């Protein structure tokens, strides 16, 4: 995998798609349509395809739940929320892992200070491990120079992410979080289609046009036949050191109405907190105690 070129990755993707087609789970057209404009398979067919995907899990892995973390655009705190959720579930004694699928801006290893390169025995790739035992895989751990920009097209990104699922020796994982590429366009959609995601967490900030992002995320979730499990509003308020009140710096939030409209039950709010930025920059995000993320973590814990 470290010698991975775009060509071999493309070939791997081609093979994966051929497999799906051979099993009658997808046709050229359905793949094209699903990627370009939306749903072309019935929910039942999709569920079957996902069951097939589960079988692709290797002998060194048993993964119970895969949770995709999405946002409308970059910079709203998707990586932060993924890191905080993973830290919180690990604290609750669940075995937790993270796939850093935001290959164009992989920052999970930095938030956890996991700087070593991933090892391979020729068959499996072995994930890195954070201080509290969260297993992590990221493109940064496969590249020789972590600062090399990775400019790849959607299908190549998707096939790389697929390998993070099929080729990594994960061991037993209760919750595997996927830090998705930002947006709700082709690239995140293709990544979604390459992993058997069980549910989605939407990350927004008050500056965003939240209603649009939620609507797009709902659409994507419907296409993938998975539920939106929760919404996290990041940079939601500032707890004033002077008066102790929560000031809505970026304006009043509307996510409650939206969540109600779409039947999403778990909402968490994360404050603007310089400590958060400092900890994640220092690779110590696990040291931030997870109160702001409690509702969404509770929701994940309640999944059967
Ligand atoms: N609630 C917050 N308070 C303070 N800083 C934050 C907060 N959320 C995110 N940041 C900082 O903003 C930057 C972008 O966050 P990040 O999680 O990397 O966004 P994304 O993954 O969506 O691009 C990071 O430097 C992060 O530390
Ligand atoms: Mg990020
Ligand atoms: Zn005040």
**For ligand 1, mutation pick of 72, 81, 280, 293 (most atoms within 8 Å of CB):** 280
Minimum-distance ligand to the CA of 72?
A: 1
Q: What is the pLDDT of residue 12?
A: 46
What pLDDT, on the 0 to 100 scale, is given for residue 42?
A: 58
- Please report which helix (H) or strand (E) contains residue 70, including its range: strand 61-71
**221 phi/psi in degrees, rounded to 5:** -65, -40
Strand partners for 232: 203, 268
d(CA 15, CA 187): 19
CA 238 to ligand 3 centroid distance, Å: 9
Look-up of token digits 């051929």: 18
pLDDT of residue 74: 87
Number of helices followed by number of strands (H, E) in the chain: 11, 12
Which atom of ligand 1 has the smallest separation from the CA of 81?
Answer: 17
The DSSP element (H or E) to which 175 belongs, if any, is strand 171-179
pLDDT of residue 137: 96
> Which residues keep their CB under 5 angstroms from ion ligand 2?
78-79, 102, 107
Ligand 1 atom closest to the Cα of residue 234 is 1
Closest C-alpha residue for ligand 1 atom 9: 77
Residue 128 and residue 109: Cα distance in Å, rounded? 9
- C-beta neighbour count of 237 within 10 angstroms: 19
Contact 175, 64 (CB under 8 A): yes
Question: What is the model's pLDDT at position 157?
Answer: 80
Place of tokens 């979730």: 221
Q: Whose CA is nearest to atom 23 of ligand 1?
A: 75
Give the ligand at the shortest distance from the Cα of 73.
1
Regions of the chain short of the pLDDT cut 70: 1-56, 144-152, 290
Tokens 């994507």 label which residue? 220
Which residue owns the Cα nearest ligand 1 atom 14? 75
Please tell me the number of the ligand nearest to residue 283's CA: 1
DSSP 24: T
Pair of tokens at residue 230: 């929760």
Residues 6+ away with beta carbon under 8 Å from 88: 290, 293, 294, 297
pLDDT at 53: 59
Which residue is closest in CA terms to ligand 1's atom 6? 277
CATH 1.10.1130.10 describes domain 6-301: no
Ligand 1 atom closest to Cα of residue 277: 27
What pLDDT is recorded for position 50?
55
Which structure tokens are listed for 188?
């995140």
> For residue 171, which of 254, 286, 57, 21 has the smallest C-alpha distance?
57
CA of 150 to the centre of ligand 1 (A): 21
How many whole angstroms from 243 Cα to the centroid of ligand 3? 4
Ligand 1 residue neighbourhood (C-beta within 6 Å) = 71, 74-80, 107, 234-235, 270, 272-273, 276-277, 280
- Residue 301 phi/psi, 5-degree rounding, is -65, -30
What are the structural domain ranges in the chain? 6-301
Q: Nearest ligand, CA of residue 241? A: 3
């Amino acid at each position: 995998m470290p010698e991975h070129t775009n060509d071999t990755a493309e070939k791997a993707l081609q093979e994966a798609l051929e497999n799906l087609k051979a099993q009658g789970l997808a046709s050229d057209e359905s793949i094209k349509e699903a990627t370009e404009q939306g749903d072309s398979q019935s929910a039942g067919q999709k569920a079957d395809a996902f069951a097939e995907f589960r079988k692709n899990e290797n002998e060194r892995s048993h993964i119970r739940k895969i949770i995709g973390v999405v946002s409308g655009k970059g910079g709203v705190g998707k990586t932060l929320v993924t890191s905080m959720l993973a830290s919180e579930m690990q604290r609750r004694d669940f075995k937790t892992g993270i796939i850093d699928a935001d290959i164009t801006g992989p920052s999970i290893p930095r938030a956890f200070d996991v700087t070593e390169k991933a090892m391979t025995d020729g068959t499996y790739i072995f994930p890195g491990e954070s201080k509290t035992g969260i297993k992590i895989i990221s493109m940064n751990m496969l590249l020789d120079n972590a600062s090399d920009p990775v400019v790849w097209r959607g299908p190549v990104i998707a096939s790389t992410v697929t390998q993070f699922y099929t080729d990594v020796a994960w061991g037993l994982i209760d919750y595997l979080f996927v830090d998705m590429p930002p947006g709700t366009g082709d690239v995140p959609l293709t990544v979604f289609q390459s992993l058997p995601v069980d549910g989605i967490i939407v990350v927004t900030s008050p500056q965003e046009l939240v209603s649009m992002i939620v609507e797009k995320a709902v659409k994507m979730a419907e296409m993938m036949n998975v539920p939106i499990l929760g919404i996290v509003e990041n940079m939601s308020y500032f707890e004033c050191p002077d008066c102790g009140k929560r000031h809505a710096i970026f304006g009043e939030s509307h996510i409650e109405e939206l969540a109600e409209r779409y039947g999403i039950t778990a909402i968490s709010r994360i404050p603007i907190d310089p400590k958060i930025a400092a900890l994640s920059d220092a690779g110590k995000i696990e040291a931030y105690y997870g109160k702001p993320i409690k509702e969404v973590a509770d929701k994940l814990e309640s999944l059967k």
